[in-house]
Structure 1
Amino acid sequence: MAITALPNSRTEPDGSAVIRVLSYNIRSMRDDEDALARVIRACKPDLVFVQEAPRFFRWRKHAARLASKSELVVLTGGAPTTGPLLMCSLRATVERTEDVLLPLTPGLHRRGFATAVVRIAGARIGLLSCHLSLRADERYTQAGMVLERMRAMDVPYKIAAGDLNDRPAGRSFRRLTTELQDCWAVAPWGGENTWKQDDPHKRIDAIFATRSVEVLGCGVPLELPGITAADLRAATDHLPVLAALRMPAL
């Protein structure tokens, strides 16, 4: 059932944590950087899973500038993961981070994962930002590696998000849903399709969570205060995916 409003971040009286999670392919910040920051700020995320972060000359400076404009901090990733990056608000306490490079297929762009474990309001959460291959066989293998990494995180709650280069009916997308919730499918909110921003006709960006996480809503933020259609078109060539998730008290 579609919902009309996405819950704000908060800690519930029973100790459960509601967090807002954003996944966004930012095309190496080659478009309108100020519009990009406006979109991110308006989403009010606790956690941001970035794909195609800057990874060449002065990449740290560019990533830090975007985080500052978005009222966030850089968590991990970027050049060491060939693009995936994690940012977070000061609500998150960082336990550990790990940048993972995946095996190189000759002739193709090398891929990686930005991973971390954070605590928010007492909930320990494993994070993984990914950008899967354009080639179907390699993409399917990488989807399996996402699941392996998620299984290896010894935490009660886990979130993976990214640009899958695959639709929900595709083999790689479906492989992820064998163990993870597709948050849009569970609680659709806002828009569905994420590519391209000027004519969205494919859902290739998604947020996934383990079944221990309660999905309150997920989708493309089309009508949040501070976001205009012009901002979404100018920021990058993908549309963002925003989710509200509840981590039940343990």
Structure 2
Amino acid sequence: MRVGTYNVRGLKDSVPALVRVITAMRADVLCVQEAPRFLYWRGRRQALAEAAGMRVAAGGRLGGVSIYVGPRARVVHAEHHVLKIFLGLEIRGVAIAVVELEGVRLAVASIHLDLSPAARFHHAVEALGRLEKAAARFGAVPVVCGDVNEQSDAPTWRYLAGRLADAYAWAPRGDGMTFTAREPRKRIDGVFTGTGVRVAACGGVGAAREDLVAATDHLPVVAELIGPGTGHAPATVS
């Protein structure tokens, strides 16, 4: 099961390059940040998903987060929530999709956290709380993917990695850096997984460098997850 995250910067860059990168990800579930939010936003999200062989499973306009799924994923449930609004800061949201893959149910959340540390932490707690409710309701493994806007030694990342598991830390592939796409020196995008799946690998995508640079200002992350009884993986999340 391949679960990924990608900040697409509102499709402000090369959309053909973006489609090629998303296609190279081969994700069964893709969490998108900075999805189109304004004119024709639904159609633009759908067109991007379809061009990459996927479909839109969840996400509202406010917050700019969305979830795409590939043909192997069956969508069981979808929801979207606007997170607490802080005066003067950008509106944030969380998209949640419960999907079935390889006989395993995953409750996946797409988040894009704020530049303000206080808002960032509050929204992480709020989003994870909503995800955990959906996961419990549908008997699914919680997975959070997104642009955290801070690195792994900062409070919000440590909170997420304390409640779930930082997939890259369990089974790293590559150097893990995601920002900027042109000169990647920070790991601010991640996949966090709950109990019930194993992490086979997590890291970057084997797309052409020119496409990665042209598509958006972030690099994508993909985690390969294995459910119980479906094979061996080098790391077990528990």
Aligned counterpart in structure 2 of residue 83 of structure 1, from 61, 64, 70: 64
Please state how far the C-alpha of 1:78 moved relative to its aligned partner: 4.1
Aligned residues: 227
Alignment-mate amino acid for residue 70 of structure 1? A
Aligned counterpart in structure 1 of residue 29 of structure 2, from 28, 47, 50: 47
Kindly report the root-mean-square deviation, in angstroms, between the aligned alpha carbons of the 2 structures.
1.3
Alignment-mate amino acid for residue 3 of structure 2? V
Q: Secondary structure at the match of 1:99?
A: strand
Output aligned runs, 1:57-72, within 5 Å. Answer: 57-72=39-54
Q: Secondary structure at the match of 2:173?
A: coil
Please state how far the C-alpha of 1:121 moved relative to its aligned partner: 2.6
> For residues 199-243 of structure 1, what are the alpha-carbon distances to aligned partners after superposition, in whole Å with 9 as ceiling and x for unaligned?
11111000000032100000122xx2xx21100000000000011
The aligned residue for residue 13 of structure 1 is: none
Alignment-mate amino acid for residue 22 of structure 1? G
Kept in 2, the 8 Å contact 1:123–1:249? The answer is: no
The aligned residue for residue 152 of structure 2 is: 168
Cα distance in structure 1, aligned partners of 2:109 and 2:129: 11
Kept in 2, the 8 Å contact 1:53–1:78? The answer is: no
Identity %: 38
Q: In the alignment, is residue 237 of structure 1 matched against residue 217 of structure 2?
A: yes
Kept in 1, the 8 Å contact 2:96–2:131? The answer is: no
> For residues 116-171 of structure 1, what are the alpha-carbon distances to aligned partners after superposition, in whole Å with 9 as ceiling and x for unaligned?
11111321110100001110011111121133123212124121100001110000
The aligned residue for residue 130 of structure 1 is: 111
Kept in 1, the 8 Å contact 2:132–2:142? The answer is: no
The aligned residue for residue 141 of structure 1 is: 122
Kept in 2, the 8 Å contact 1:54–1:78? The answer is: no
The aligned residue for residue 192 of structure 2 is: 208
> TM-score scaled by structure 2?
0.92
The aligned residue for residue 12 of structure 1 is: none
Alignment-mate amino acid for residue 38 of structure 1? R
Q: In the alignment, is residue 183 of structure 1 matched against residue 167 of structure 2?
A: yes
- Name structure 2 gaps, 5 residues minimum: 231-238
Kept in 2, the 8 Å contact 1:53–1:83? The answer is: yes
Q: Secondary structure at the match of 1:178?
A: helix
> TM-score scaled by structure 1?
0.88
Kept in 2, the 8 Å contact 1:59–1:78? The answer is: no
Cα distance in structure 2, aligned partners of 1:89 and 1:191: 27
Alignment-mate amino acid for residue 125 of structure 1? L
Output aligned runs, 1:7-46, within 5 Å. Answer: 19-46=1-28
Aligned counterpart in structure 1 of residue 78 of structure 2, from 74, 97, 103: 97
Alignment-mate amino acid for residue 75 of structure 1? A
Cα distance in structure 2, aligned partners of 1:241 and 1:218: 7
- Name structure 1 gaps, 5 residues minimum: 1-18
Alignment-mate amino acid for residue 48 of structure 1? L
